[in-house]
Structure formats: C-alpha cells, structure tokens
C-alpha cells in the first residue's frame, strides 16, 4: 500500500533518464518524508531504500561528468578543433 502524498518510486530506467536536478529534487522529497516523523517503520524503510537508489543514481551521473571533464582536460581543452 502506498503512503498518502508519496510519489510513485521510479524504476532504474526512469532514474537514468532524469536530470541530476530532478534526482536532487526527489531526494529532497524523500528526506522530507523521513524527517516529518509521521511515517511508519515500514514506510521509513521504503524512503531509505529509495533515497539510497537516488544517491546511487546521482553518484553515477556525477562520475560520468567527471570522466568527461578528465578527457577534455587531457586533450588540453582542444576537443572541438
């Protein structure tokens, strides 16, 4: 049963399609759900699970961008010529 006010949890494919800003927004919503103190233990655990999936998705996106930056740096910034 889904808790009132909760958004449906995105699957892995949907997480990958989201921008990092969208992931951070959803993560803030999850944190708010944990902090409000009205969730049952089971719902809190679901929030925690979703939060960890979101953190992992954010980390993956950040890692990919970091690798792209390293490639550009190695090329001396001359990537368009």
Residue 1 pLDDT > 50, yes or no?
A: no
d(CA 7, CA 13): 16
Domain boundaries, the chain: 18-74
Say what angle helices 41-74 and 20-35 make with each other, to 10 degrees. 150
> Which pTM value belongs to this model?
0.74
Where residue 2 falls among pLDDT bands split at 50, 70, 90? very low
The stretches of 1-81 forming alpha helices (DSSP H) are 12-17, 20-35, 41-74
In CATH terms, 18-74 corresponds, of 1.10.540, 1.25.40, 1.10.287, 1.10.760, to 1.10.287
Q: Is the pLDDT of residue 12 over 80?
A: no
User: Quick one: average pLDDT of 44-66?
Assistant: 94
To 5 degrees, how large is the angle CA 14–CA 64–CA 77?
Answer: 140
> What percentage of residues in the chain have a pLDDT greater than 70?
83
> Could you give the CA distance from residue 63 to residue 71 in angstroms, rounded to a whole number?
12
């Amino acid at each position: 049963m889904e808790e009132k006010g909760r958004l449906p949890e995105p699957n892995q494919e949907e997480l990958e399609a989201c921008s990092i800003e969208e992931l951070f927004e959803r993560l803030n919503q999850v944190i708010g759900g944990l902090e409000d103190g009205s969730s049952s233990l089971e719902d809190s655990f679901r929030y925690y699970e979703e939060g960890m999936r979101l953190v992992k998705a954010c980390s993956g996106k950040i890692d990919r961008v970091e690798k792209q930056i390293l490639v550009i740096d190695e090329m001396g910034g001359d990537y368009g010529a």
